[in-house]
Amino acid sequence: MSQTPKRAAVYCRLSYAPDGSVEKVERQEADCRELAARLGWEISESHVFVDNSRSAWQRKRKRPGWDSLLKAVEADDIDGIVVYHGDRMIRQPFDLERMISLAEGKGLRISSPSGTRDLDSADDRFILRIEAAQACRASDDTSRRVSRGVKGRVEKGLPPTAGGKRPYGWGVQIGSKVKVDPETGKEKRVPVFDMTLPVAEEIRFTQRAIERQLAGMNHGAVVRWLNESGSRTTEGNPWTTKSWRNVVLRPRVAGLIEHGGKLHKAAWDGAVSVEVWAAIKALYAASAAESPYCGRERVHLLTGVAECFQCHPAPRGGKCGSPKCKGPHQAVRSKPSGGRNRKTSRIYYCPSCRGVGRNMALLDAYIDGRVLRLLSSEDFLRELRKAMAPEGGDASSLLTEITALEKRREQEKARLESLADHPDVDGSLVVLAIASFDRKIVALRARLAVPAKLNRLTKLVGIGREDWLARPIDVRSAVVKDLFRVVILPTELRGPGFDTSSVRLERRPL
């Protein structure tokens, strides 16, 4: 007969604790200690293992407590395990086989309220294998029911899971319910929201902010505008670049839900069209590719835009003496000019060699003038029109075709509504016809689509100096980068004035 364990371990596990509550695993530990006391087992205080909010059924899950328990078994540090219930420890047969393999010949005993098992006993191993198979089958049944429920919600155009925080733009309160505070145990009344109903003011903020971004406004500037306009997150916090990015990149904003890697039509109308949502996603993707780190909100026109004539940035580093070098060069930064009589002036400088520096106000004014002159040029206007010409046809014919398709689509919709209750008409045929119109319209709009750069430049053609300076600094900086590569060269000019030959502007292709 096996000896009474003198170094028993305790294992506790709770599958789901979204609020991080440890109350239930603590209750399991107390029950395990009470059982060990009745059996006369001695608990090893250094071998109490807890997995809170951890699944034992998912094959790819991580259970730190379980892994530590197996190490203790392999090292022969324990001679018994007390568990609240067998399925708290094992819900997959392969976990049991792993335990049996590590405990072979060690006389390890497992105890729970349902009984005590000796892993060296063939009969007990047989019973444990049956219990593990039953636990796995129960988990499979639960998973199947949950998956079917999720599929049913998606088919209705609802999110895969209910509850959670109210999404920005949607969620009208339709009642309240009583909820128990996990920390205090007290009941409190919380609002209940219908997540398919739009919040008009938040929808307007979303639409206006996305319009600004597509027009060329910097991500950080849009966030600042939202905060200054009085918009707040659903939790009442000021917007950050991360929280706003999360809102506009979610399929919900376009009236879609994502499940299983596919997009489905949602039960609510989007704040923007699918095409606009695709454009804003493409804008973020392009920004991430061009600038892996977006940096702080822009303050000056040419920081990060103008380049030193000779220094290369890390990791390449070093200097080049060739004026024809097309490789990436060190971008300039800004700092105060310094000096008793220049307390408010600033300069652009190269942080690598510190050998070039230009007065910020004078260089900005020169660049502004060159940009305005180009935007007012007839040659540039012709170049822009050529760059924007759609593939496979001119813009006017494509727009005419889109307009005609949209008109026919509306006629089909009206026809569907009038025949909805007619017993001899198959409404699904009309629905399919409308879907075919949508596909054709999306394809034509894609041929009309232009890069964000061209869209930004088109709105600024012929702009005057006063209107130009009234534009946000990040928009002006983006336009400078769209049009020119700005290279700062050495200068021998000393004293007041600006040496235009000390700046090289290279036109970028549209």
At 132-184, the pLDDT tens digits run 888 778 877 877 887 888 888 888 888 877 777 889 999 888 888 887 766 66
Mean pLDDT over each residue of the chain, to the nearest integer: 81
Domain residue spans of the chain: 8-141, 195-290, 307-376+462-507, 386-457
Q: Does residue 315 have a cis peptide bond before it, meaning omega lies within 30 degrees of 0?
A: yes
Residue-wise pLDDT for 186-196, tens only, equals: 788 888 888 88
- Output the pLDDT for position 244: 94
How far apart are the C-alpha atoms of 188 and 310, rounded to whole Å?
66
Q: Is 495 exposed, middle or buried (0-12, 13-18, 19+ CB in 10 A)?
A: exposed
Q: Would you say residue 438 has pLDDT above 50?
A: yes
**Residue 301: which pLDDT band, with cuts at 50, 70 and 90?**
very high
**Residue 207: which pLDDT band, with cuts at 50, 70 and 90?**
very high
Q: At the top level of CATH, which class does the domain 8-141 belong to?
A: alpha beta
Highest mean pLDDT among 189-193, 399-403, 410-414, 427-431: 189-193
Long-range pairs, 464-467, Cβ under 8 A, ≥24: 464/372, 465/368, 465/372
- Output the pLDDT for position 226: 94
Residue with the bigger pLDDT between 312 and 242: it is 242
- Output the pLDDT for position 19: 45
Point out which residues pair with 486 in neighbouring strands: 505
- Output the pLDDT for position 245: 93
How far apart are the C-alpha atoms of 507 and 510, rounded to whole Å?
9
Other CB atoms within 10 Å distance of the CB of residue 427: 14
Residue with the bigger pLDDT between 293 and 461: it is 461
The SS3 of residue 47 is strand
The SS3 of residue 14 is strand
Point out which residues pair with 170 in neighbouring strands: 198
Residue-wise pLDDT for 472-482, tens only, equals: 898 899 999 99
Q: Would you say residue 342 has pLDDT above 70?
A: no
**Residue 408: which pLDDT band, with cuts at 50, 70 and 90?**
confident
**Residue 223: which pLDDT band, with cuts at 50, 70 and 90?**
very high
- Output the pLDDT for position 427: 52
**Residue 366: which pLDDT band, with cuts at 50, 70 and 90?**
very high
- Output the pLDDT for position 20: 44
Query: What residues have CB less than 8 Å from 343, skipping those under 6 apart?
Result: 336
Mean pLDDT, residues 495-500 taken together: 80
Strand order in the sheet with 307-308: 307-308, 484-488, 503-507
CA 316 to chain centre: 32
Contact 312, 328 (CB under 8 A): yes
Residue-wise pLDDT for 318-340, tens only, equals: 677 666 676 778 899 988 887 66
Other CB atoms within 10 Å distance of the CB of residue 17: 15
Return the structure tokens found at 458.
């088109």
Residue with the bigger pLDDT between 427 and 497: it is 497
Question: If you write DSSP's letter for every residue of 162-185 in order, what string do you get?
Answer: --SSPPTTEEEEEEEEEEE-TTT-
Task: Return the CATH superfamily for domain 195-290.
Answer: Putative Large Serine Recombinase; Chain B, Domain 2 (3.90.1750.20)
**Residue 417: which pLDDT band, with cuts at 50, 70 and 90?**
low
- Output the pLDDT for position 365: 94
- Output the pLDDT for position 285: 83
Return the structure tokens found at 261.
């890697």
Q: In the chain, what percentage of residues exceed pLDDT 70?
A: 83
Q: Is 355 exposed, middle or buried (0-12, 13-18, 19+ CB in 10 A)?
A: middle
Q: Which helix (H) or strand (E) holds 431?
A: helix 427-448
Counted residue by residue, the chain has a size of 510
Tokens 């706003």: give the residue.
244
**Residue 290: which pLDDT band, with cuts at 50, 70 and 90?**
low
- Output the pLDDT for position 14: 78
Lowest mean pLDDT among 53-67, 143-157, 415-429: 415-429
Q: Would you say residue 393 has pLDDT above 60?
A: no
Return the structure tokens found at 265.
């039509």
**Predicted TM-score of the model (pTM):** 0.43
CA angle 105, 110, 115 (to 5 degrees): 130
Residue with the bigger pLDDT between 221 and 292: it is 221
Contact 399, 449 (CB under 8 A): no
Q: Would you say residue 62 has pLDDT above 70?
A: yes
Residue with the bigger pLDDT between 85 and 428: it is 85
Q: Would you say residue 230 has pLDDT above 90?
A: yes
Q: Would you say residue 359 has pLDDT above 80?
A: yes
Residue with the bigger pLDDT between 125 and 332: it is 332
Highest mean pLDDT among 12-21, 40-49, 150-159, 449-458: 40-49
Residue-wise pLDDT for 239-268, tens only, equals: 999 999 999 999 999 999 888 778 888 888
- Output the pLDDT for position 184: 66
- Output the pLDDT for position 302: 92
Return the structure tokens found at 296.
């702080």
Report which DSSP code applies to 271: S
**8-141 and 195-290 in the same fold:** no
